[in-house]
Amino acid sequence: MIMGDQAEKLRRLVREVRPHARVVTIASGKGGVGKTNIAVNLAIALGRDHGRRVTLIDADLGLANVDLMLDLQPRWNLSHVLAGQRRLEDSIVAGPEGVEIVAGASGLSRLADLEDWERRGLLEQLARLEERTDYCLIDTSAGIGGTVVSLAASADDCLIVVTPEPTSIADAYATIKVVSRASERPRLHLLVNMAGSRPEAGRVYERVAGVARKFLGVELIDAGYILCDGHVARAVRRRRPFVTEFPNSQAAWCLRQVAEKLTDGAAHEETTGRGHGFFQRVAGLFGVTA
C-alpha cells in the first residue's frame, strides 16, 4: 500500500506534469536474441531519420551493456539513481545522433529483480522524462521478472523481440502471457530478429500471433523483422550502431522500417486520442489519481 505522503507527491506531479513522451519497452523471453542491439539502433533511427528527441534507458539491471555497445564511459548509472545518490537526469550522457543514454547497472545481480519500493521509485524517476523527450526507449532485462512486467505495463508500447528458434518463440509467448495480464496493458508488438528471409519472419509472427489470439485474446502488432546480416556482428565488434556504420545493409533497411511503423502508430494514437500518458499510468499502478 502506498503511503500518504508518497500518494500526495504523486498527485501533485500528476497535476503539474504534462504527458509528452511515448514510452516503449523492448523485452524478450530469453537472452541472446539481439534485444539490446535492436534498442540501440531503433533509438538512433528514431532520432536521426524521424527527427525525434530520444532517450534510451538501459534497464537490463545486472547485465547492462548499452554503454559497451556504444563505447561510452558514463560516470553515473541506474544503480546510483536507485540508491538515491543521483537523480535520473544526472546519469544521462550524450550518445550517437543526439540520443540521450542512461546506463544500466552491469554486474549488480541484486538489482535484476527490484523490490516493490525500488520499482516504484524507478517508475517515478522515469515519468519525469516526459517533458524532455519525444520517445523514451527502455531496454529491459530478459525474462519475465517483476521489474520487467512493471516497466512493460507502464509503457505505451512493449516491443517483444523473438528469433525463429523454438526456445525463443516459447519464451516470447510466455512474456506476452504475463504482460497481457497486467491491469494496464501496453500495445504489444512482435519483432522477429535474425530472420533468414521475409517469409520465415512472417511465419514466426503468424505462429506467435495466432496462439496469442486464440488462448490469450491478445492481438499482436506486427513490428516487422530484421534479416540475418553479417554487418550487425561487425558493427558490434566496432562498438558502433549498424544503422550508422552500415546504413546500406539489409539489417539497417529493416530497422528503418521498424522505426517507421512505430512512428506511424504513434501518429494514429495521437489522432484518435487514445492513451493517458506514462505518468498517469505510473500513478494508476499505485492507486493514485489527480
Lowest mean pLDDT among 53-62, 69-78, 100-109, 186-195: 100-109
pLDDT digits (tens, 9 = 90+) for 185-224: 899 999 999 999 999 999 999 999 999 999 999 999 999 9
What pLDDT sits at residue 150?
A: 79
d(CA 158, CA 153): 8
Give which of 52, 44, 90 is closest to 69, Cα–Cα: 44
Residue 279 inside a domain? The answer is no
d(CA 22, CA 266): 8
Strands 22-27 and 157-162: parallel
What pLDDT sits at residue 154?
A: 79
What pLDDT sits at residue 113?
A: 58
Residue 288 inside a domain? The answer is no
Neighbours of 159 (CB within 10 A): 28
Neighbours of 46 (CB within 10 A): 28
Residue 6 inside a domain? The answer is no
Give the domain extent around 32: 19-273
**CA 42 and chain centroid, separation:** 10
Region 249-256: what's the mean pLDDT?
Answer: 98
d(CA 277, CA 22): 8
d(CA 134, CA 282): 18
| Region for residue 81 given its phi and psi (left: phi exceeds 0; alpha: psi -120 to 50; beta: otherwise) | alpha
What pLDDT sits at residue 240?
A: 96
How does DSSP classify residue 188?
A: E
Residue 289 inside a domain? The answer is no
What pLDDT sits at residue 288?
A: 43
**Reported confidence tier of residue 266, pLDDT bands at 50, 70, 90:** low
Asked whether the CA dihedral 164, 170, 171, 174 is positive or negative, the reply is: positive
Cell numbers describing residue 119: 520499482
Region 38-44: what's the mean pLDDT?
Answer: 97
CB 70 within 8 A of CB 101: yes
Residue 261 inside a domain? The answer is yes
What pLDDT sits at residue 75?
A: 87
Kindly tell me if the per-residue pLDDT of 249 is higher than 60.
yes
What pLDDT sits at residue 45?
A: 95
**Reported confidence tier of residue 30, pLDDT bands at 50, 70, 90:** confident
Amino acid (1-letter code) at residue 287: G
Domain total for the chain?
1
Kindly tell me if the per-residue pLDDT of 8 is higher than 80.
no
Sheet containing strand 54-59, strands side by side: 92-94, 100-102, 54-59, 135-140, 22-27, 157-162, 187-195, 221-227
Q: The whole model's pTM is what?
A: 0.83
CB 208 within 8 A of CB 169: yes
Instruction: Compute the CA torsion angle 222, 227, 231, 237 (nearest 10 deg).
Output: 60
**Reported confidence tier of residue 64, pLDDT bands at 50, 70, 90:** confident
Residue 283 inside a domain? The answer is no
> Can you give the CATH number for the domain in which 191 is found?
3.40.50.300
Neighbours of 102 (CB within 10 A): 30
pLDDT digits (tens, 9 = 90+) for 124-175: 777 777 777 899 899 988 877 777 887 788 789 999 999 999 999 999 999 9
Residue 207 inside a domain? The answer is yes
**Reported confidence tier of residue 2, pLDDT bands at 50, 70, 90:** very low
**Reported confidence tier of residue 108, pLDDT bands at 50, 70, 90:** low
**Cβ neighbours for 164, distance < 8 A, ≥ 6 positions apart:** 192, 194, 195, 196, 200, 201, 204
Residue 285 inside a domain? The answer is no
Instruction: Give the C-alpha distances (Å, rounded to integers) separating 239 from 37, 70, 283.
Output: 11, 5, 37
What pLDDT sits at residue 77?
A: 82
